[in-house]
A and B are shown apart, each in its own frame.
Chain A
Amino acid sequence: KAGVTQTPRYLIKTRGQQVTLSCSPISGHRSVSWYQQTPGQGLQFLFEYFSETQRNKGNFPGRFSGRQFSNSRSEMNVSTLELGDSALYLCASSPTSANTQYFGPGTRLTVL
């Protein structure tokens, strides 16, 4: 089975712009979670989607949003980018939220 894929792998944006990141889960996995990784902060949970519904949300501002499509692919959007949004954004998939999560390679976002 193919693993979790994320596109793009690298992205450079400027403050105030918006960005959309994409994640394709492992085939058959319906739960997709997003995390932000910054140095010293570990993986901070953003949100989880299951069957096109957001099931859980972390403590991030409303500028961070997401959605999931009927084929379980998910997108994450960040509007009005700030310098502090520079991070590695990781997507993880699992059959359901109860199962072990498997991560994609991440999207490295740099905000200038």
Chain B
Amino acid sequence: DQQVKQNSPSLSVQEGRISILNCDYTNSMFDYFLWYKKYPAEGPTFLISISSIKDKNEDGRFTVFLNKSAKHLSLHIVPSQPGDSAVYFCAARGWTSGTYKYIFGTGTRLKVLA
């Protein structure tokens, strides 16, 4: 049972345009959401996060939107740059067995074309 889903395995965007990466989740008890970026042969790097009590968080070119009623999370990158080409994972935090646990999506590979 995949509680966090990234339905688009890949996405190609022209440099300078907006990249929109999407993530859906099923558990309404998730209280914190994160996006990570991963380059080949490296571990995931934390990018941006959002608490379930907010609907938007912005950090430079990166903005995360949360729609709790739709159980949907999105990451906007504006403007997109070739260095943004990587695999992006969304993650959700839930409380289970007396501790927090993070559930990750399967990732979306973003390719920014110069």
Contacts and interface: CB of A to CB of B under 8 A. Distances in A.
A11 interface: no
A80 interface: no
Given A90-B43, A100-B46, A103-B44, A42 B105 contact: yes
A105 B107 contact: no
A100 B35 CA distance: 10
Interface stretch (B52-60, B65-73, B75-83, B91-99): B91-99
Interface residues on A, range: 20 to 34
Given A40-B106, A55-B97, A96-B100, 17 more contacts: A40-B9, A41-B106, A42-B6, A42-B105, A43-B44, A43-B104, A45-B101, A45-B104, A55-B99, A56-B97, A56-B99, A90-B43, A90-B44, A102-B46, A103-B43, A103-B44, A106-B43
Interface string B32-63: 00101000011111100100000000000000
B104 A42 contact: yes
Interface of A is mostly: strand
B18 interface: no
A90 B38 CA distance: 12
B43 A4 contact: yes
A100 B42 contact: no
B103 interface: yes
Interface in A48-96: 48, 50, 55-56, 90, 92, 96
Interface in A2-61: 4, 6, 33, 35, 40-45, 48, 50, 55-56
Nearest to A91: B43
Contacts of A43: 44, 89, 91, 104
A105 B43 contact: yes
A104 B46 CA distance: 11
A105 B89 contact: no
Contacts of A42: 6, 89, 104-107
Q: Could you say which of A41, A43, A56, A92 has the most chain B C-beta atoms within 10 Å of its C-beta?
A: A43
B14 to A, nearest CB: 27
